[in-house]
Amino acid sequence: MGFLDNSSITVDAILTKRGREILAQGGNLGITKFALSDEEVDYTLYDVTHPNGTDSYGTVIENMSLLEATPNRKNFNSHLINQSQAGTQLKGLQAAYADLTHGDNITLTPETEGGATELYTFIIENTTVVYFQGGQSQQQQTASTVTIIAGSIQSAASTTVTITGIESGLSKVITVGVKKDVASSTPPDQSSSGGGAGGTYVPGTYG
């Protein structure tokens, strides 16, 4: 989702690549949430010394070109949050986990620094590449911590896991890469109803 330009409040919303795939297959997107990002804004350009006074402090920022909608939900690393959450951060997670071998596991234990203890929603984009321990057919889990396991795939691939705080709304997307399993005949983009070999992606936080 993105603003077409900064001369109006018209909003351009497009589906992600995965969302278009589900729609083409006749699936129901079931979009319930969306996230806003200020990734393109350079706040260091806010000039409190502007000679025209306070109304002009943000002139440069207000005239910056804004990003248009993108079909790749991995592009944004920052998201707008409620002002009451100012100063809070999502900690305890690496940006990427690479070169996992089939059967390797990673425990994800996020922490909301500066905020109250909370539960988190974990969404795996592709459950063929990695899947939840004890829930191999699940796309999403809500917990304080989860363990994900590297799947058996015939070629190396990566996927994303989106972690969102239930109370704070803080969100982080991490990338997990898995090596090919020479004994596997499962393509990494294969969909399946279980067994840790796929699953149908149901967009929640992102459209």
pLDDT in tens, 36-60: 666 667 777 788 888 888 888 888 8
Q: Residue 145 — very low, low, confident or very high, per pLDDT cuts 50/70/90?
A: very high
Assigned domain for 27 exists: yes
Assigned domain for 7 exists: yes
| 49 shares its domain with 100 | no
| 132 shares its domain with 54 | no
Residue 84 pLDDT more than 80? Answer: no
Alpha carbons 160 and 144: distance in angstroms, whole number: 18
151 DSSP assignment = -
User: Is 134 or 193 the better-scoring residue by pLDDT?
Assistant: 134
Assigned domain for 35 exists: yes
CATH number, domain containing residue 149: 2.60.40.10
| 14 shares its domain with 55 | yes
Indicate the helix (H) or strand (E) that contains 58. none
Alpha carbons 109 and 67: distance in angstroms, whole number: 32
Domain range for 139:
83-178
Residue 110 pLDDT more than 80? Answer: yes
Assigned domain for 127 exists: yes
Q: What is the pLDDT of residue 66?
A: 66
What's the rounded mean pLDDT across residues 142-164?
A: 95
Assigned domain for 114 exists: yes
Domain count across the chain: 2
Residue 118 pLDDT more than 70? Answer: yes
What's the rounded mean pLDDT across residues 90-110?
A: 93
| 104 shares its domain with 155 | yes
